Structure 1
Amino acid sequence: MTDSFRALLRHPVHLLAFGFGSGLSPKAPGTVGTLAAVPLYLLLAQLSLPLYAALVLLAFLLGVYLCHATAADMGVHDHPGIVWDEFVGYWITMLAAPAGWLWVVLGFALFRLFDVWKPWPISWCDRHVYGGFGIMLDDVLAGVLALGCLQAIALWV
């Protein structure tokens, strides 16, 4: 266990913001954070659609606080290790997704594509909206775009 992880364990807000430690990855913390969101998605996917959506909304609202508090404590607007926004963005992508590993992987790939590429309006929000809401918003939008693509593919197939 690293000193950084020990520090996260002492501060539950940072532990959640750093995706239970997945954001400490020295390479591609956003991708690792999204991977860490997959097992939690598999649990959430067992819920009814309204309950799933309500929990994702609560995770978003919690995320605004977590990301704001952690960024403020670190003195960095959107530290790469803050990955709670990736968790929520992936869960949005997977809203009403068909069952099966193909869809889990495709949702992962689509979300990461939009999160990294940041087409408009994601790029605009990433540059102009600050605080915990700003940290969360670009990933929420990436999740919404990925959700649209995933649902379109599911309809097409």
Structure 2
Amino acid sequence: MPDSSTRDRVALAIARLGPSGVCPVCPGTCGAAVAAMLAPFVFLPLSLPMRCVALAVVYFIGAWAAGRAEHLLGRKDPGEVVVDELLGQWVTMLPFASLTWPQVLAAFALFRLFDILKPWPVRAAESWLPGGHGVMVDDGVAGLEAMLVLAGLLHFGLL
């Protein structure tokens, strides 16, 4: 079994999505951009049931890592924790088997818009659950809202 310092380093690496979370400018945007760029290669090729499984794995591992990072960094929802952006960005793209690069860019922009502005119920979701689960859930809700807008834009041929 790995020692606690190894587990802590792994937790921080996951929470930060490698170096994304330590980006000196807008780490959340950096994390979401990494998630958006990976999606066409890692997430979208999966079947819908496997995308749901992938999101569940990201959620639970991300919640563990985010909660551990909060403890290690001594702050609630530290800015360098960006694994929640991975969840939210991929939730935005969940129902779509394939997206063109302009559509991926639109998914990225919509998710960031909802994540930054935090319209209801995104802001409320921040307090639904404690610790790492609370870090993750609001981005999942922002992703759901962005997904609905993206689906509408695609349905009406606006993208």
Compute the TM-score of the two structures, normalised by the length of structure 1: 0.89
Paired AA for residue 39 in structure 1 = M
Q: 1:125 Cα deviation (Å)?
A: 2.4
Query: Is 1:85 aligned with 2:84?
Result: yes
Partner SS state of residue 106, structure 1: helix
- What amino acid sits opposite 1:131 in the alignment? G
1:65 corresponds to 2:64? yes
> For residue 16 of structure 1, what is the aligned residue in structure 2?
14
- Structure 1 residues 16-56: Cα deviation after superposition (integer angstroms, max 9, x where no partner): 10011101011111000111112321221111111111111
Partner of 2:23: 25
CA shift for structure 1 position 92: 0.3
Contact 2:55 2:87 in 1 (8 A): yes
Structure 2 stretches of 5 or more lacking a match? 1-5
Contact kept in structure 1, 2:125 and 2:141, CA below 8 Å: no
TM-score normalised by the chain length of structure 2: 0.88
Structure 1: unaligned runs, 5 residues or longer: 1-7
1:108 aligns with 2:108: yes
State the shift of 1:130 in Å: 3.0
Per-residue CA deviation, residues 60-108 of structure 1 (Å, 9 max, x unaligned), is 1111111001111111111000000001100000112242111100000
CA contact (8 A) 1:111 1:143 kept: yes
Q: Is the 8 A contact 1:77 1:130 kept in 2?
A: no
In structure 2, C-alpha distance between the alignment counterparts of 1:11 and 1:151, rounded to whole Å: 38
Identity percentage of aligned residues: 33
Indicate if the aligned counterparts of 2:23 and 2:30 stay in contact, CA closer than 8 A: yes
Q: What is the alpha-carbon distance in structure 1 between the residues aligned to residue 18 and residue 101 of structure 2?
A: 23
CA RMSD of aligned residues (A): 1.8
Cα distance between partner residues in 2 of 1:155 and 1:50 = 22
With 105-114 and 129-138 compared, the bigger mean Cα shift is at 129-138
What is the correspondence of 1:1-157 to structure 2 with a 5 Å cutoff? 11-42=9-40, 43-97=42-96, 98-127=98-127, 129-157=129-157
